[in-house]
Amino acid sequence: MPLTAEESKKLELKANTIREDIIKMLVEAGSGHSGGPLGMADVFSALFFKELNINPEKPDWEDRDRFVLSCGHICPVLYSAMARRGYFPVEELKSLRKLGSRLQGHPHREVLPGLETTSGPLGSGLSQAAGMALAGIMDKKSWRVYCVTSDGEHQEGNTWEAVMFAANYKLGNLTVIMDRNNMQIDGHTEDIMKIDPVADKYRAFNWNVIEVNGHNFDEIIQACEDAKTIFEKPTIIIAHTIPGKGVSYMENRFEWHGSPPDAMDISGAPSKGEQAKEALKQLEEIGEKLK
């Protein structure tokens, strides 16, 4: 069933708030990734405020859906979504990457309730998610496993081992969402190590493949719901996104993959010291238009 206009607006507003959080967190930390987190804010809004069957008051609830972030470097978007969902105080977002903080530069499972895995080494998250999904099937559980991956980590051999494993064991309870933003730290994925035709590759590995606009809530939610109707195959949702979404001078610029606002001067952007102000100004304007 399509989202109502009110539901869509709530998700859009939540995603915009998450983007504002991301900018504030990164500036406070003085380090971290901008492009991917901003680009995936809509997907995380859809997951954490509509799709995932979770209970922040009981993060270890046995029947919860499991969420795995494979590309741990985009964790600012995860932390914001978790805080806004009620897993921990929003004020704690200011501690990103600080010594002793629960919000490390890559998620650390043992220190923050609600995290299913410790992530960092690219290519390992899908293997972890597949293992959880197989355990769920073996134990005859109804919960599902969701895994967010980057497109760049599809240059890792471990990813494709997990793709083969998930298909072999017919993990119909596994939904993977790929952030297909075509960017990585050194440039465009197709200039560094081509992964296309990635959709055809997944089909060849016997996966159910759905492609969506990663900024369209109806498409994201419908794809997640469609995945639940496929029982003999895992599902990959290839979400086409714009890295740096919402901040005009960051959009589709690989230079912002691993750079926070105000850390350095980057061509085409406001000068160092003005970047965060301009980013927050643009996001505030978007938020006002949505209200």
Residue 120 has pLDDT above 90, yes or no: no
User: What average pLDDT does the structure give for the chain?
Assistant: 97
pLDDT at 16: 98
pTM for this one? 0.97
Question: Using one digit for the tens of pLDDT, what is the confidence trace for 145-177?
Answer: 999 999 999 999 999 999 999 999 999 999 999
pLDDT at 174: 98
Strand boundaries in 90-234, DSSP class E: 145-150, 174-180, 183-184, 187-188, 208-213
pLDDT at 275: 98
DSSP codes, 17-71? HHHHHHHHHHHHHT-S--HHHHHTHHHHHHIIIII----TTSTT-TTPPEEEESS
What is d(CA 120, CA 72) in angstroms, rounded to the nearest whole number? 5
Question: Using one digit for the tens of pLDDT, what is the confidence trace for 233-288?
Answer: 999 999 999 999 999 999 999 999 999 999 999 999 999 999 999 999 999 999 99
Q: What is the DSSP letter of 270?
A: P
Residue that the structure tokens 């997907």 belong to = 43
What is d(CA 80, CA 103) in angstroms, rounded to the nearest whole number? 10
The CATH topology of domain 5-290 is: Rossmann fold (3.40.50)
Per-residue pLDDT band for 121 (boundaries 50, 70, 90) equals confident
pLDDT at 139: 98
What is d(CA 70, CA 169) in angstroms, rounded to the nearest whole number? 20
Average pLDDT over residues 76-95: 98
pLDDT at 114: 95
Pairing of strands 183-184, 187-188: antiparallel
Per-residue pLDDT band for 191 (boundaries 50, 70, 90) equals very high
Residue 1 has pLDDT above 80, yes or no: no
pLDDT over 70 percentage in the chain: 100
pLDDT at 291: 87
Domain residue spans of the chain: 5-290
